[in-house]
Amino acid sequence: MARFRAWGVDERRTAHAGLVFRVLALVVLAAGFLGLCSTLFPTRAGVPELLRDLRSGNVSVVQVISPDVGEVRVFWSTGYLGDHTFTYHDVVSLPGAEAERFTAGIKRQLGEQAAGVTFEESDRFDALGFLDVLIPLMYWFVMPHLAWPVALCCVVALVSMVLRQDLRAPSAGYWLLTSVVFGFGFPAYLWSEPRPLWSRRTPAPGGRPLMTGLRVAGATACWAGVGVAAMMAVALGRQ
């Protein structure tokens, strides 16, 4: 009897630890996704805000590109959710070297402080190329400080899919496919397995509703909808 009690205690502890990890992993993934949204949809600013942040010492790198004649796009970040951008229109009649002229003007206004600032004439996503469609890879280029925590949560979730015996889905292959191919499969899995973190339905003792492949796809689609809504809210709020 004592053996069965000990097993029950260990089982409850394991379930509790799994629940804590699922919640923390969802928080990490949400924080990473919001940070990515901030990078993709930076706050609209201007030259005064750029000079203010540079003089405060919160910015060491400014990205300056000239995608069109007479136009300069500027991007900088003061930290998590602190991404800013603006478009500067070069009034010089001679085309070419717009980015260089803008950089030179900012350095003149900064004076000696310009020595501690790096101006990069490259787009943030140039190194990605066509891989920018794979959202998980973007973390390593635009948000390296959160890339490792996000990767750790995803790896632990993948191991859990393969090893655990109490999945609601009849096959871990559903989750492996949706999580590896679609980034929103990870929060769908963490929310759903081995039972929903929150549900109006109270399952029978020892029972849990099954997850078919169609339900796995539906859960992933729901989380994708939440993600798209979050991206739209961030984009509209930063205009």
Whether the per-residue pLDDT at 204 is higher than 50: the answer is: no
Whether the per-residue pLDDT at 215 is higher than 60: the answer is: yes
Which pLDDT score, from 0 to 100, does residue 93 have?
A: 58
- pTM of this prediction? 0.80
Whether the per-residue pLDDT at 182 is higher than 50: the answer is: yes
Q: How far apart are CA 170 and CA 220, in angstroms?
A: 17
Encoding tokens for residue 232?
A: 């739209």
- Cα angle for residues 219, 225, 230 (degrees, 5° grid): 130
CB atoms within 10 A of CB 71: 14
Which pLDDT score, from 0 to 100, does residue 89 have?
A: 87
Encoding tokens for residue 89?
A: 């229109």
- Cα angle for residues 7, 11, 13 (degrees, 5° grid): 120
Indicate the CATH number for domain 43-120. Answer: 3.30.720
List residues bridging with 217 in a β-sheet: none
Nearest in space to 73 (alpha carbons), one of 46, 106, 111: 46
Half-sphere exposure of 107 (CA within 13 A, CB side): 15
Encoding tokens for residue 167?
A: 């999945």
Which pLDDT score, from 0 to 100, does residue 145 have?
A: 77
pLDDT tier for residue 12 given thresholds of 50, 70 and 90: confident
Q: How far apart are CA 191 and CA 176, in angstroms?
A: 15
Pairing mode, strands 43-44 and 61-68: unpaired
123-141 average pLDDT score: 58
Which pLDDT score, from 0 to 100, does residue 18 have?
A: 86
Q: How far apart are CA 122 and CA 75, in angstroms?
A: 10
111-135 average pLDDT score: 71
Pairing mode, strands 43-44 and 83-89: parallel
Q: What pLDDT digit, counting tens, does each position of 69-104 carry?
A: 888 999 999 988 899 999 988 777 566 688 888 999
Whether the per-residue pLDDT at 66 is higher than 70: the answer is: yes
Judge contact between 33 and 187, C-beta under 8 A: no
Encoding tokens for residue 106?
A: 């900012």
**Could you state, in order of their start, the residue ranges of all structural domains in the chain?**
19-40+129-199+209-237, 43-120
DSSP 60: -
Q: How far apart are CA 145 and CA 34, in angstroms?
A: 13
pLDDT, averaged across the chain: 83
- Of 131 and 30, the structure prediction assigns the larger pLDDT to 30
Instruction: Fill in the amino acid letter for 56.
Output: S
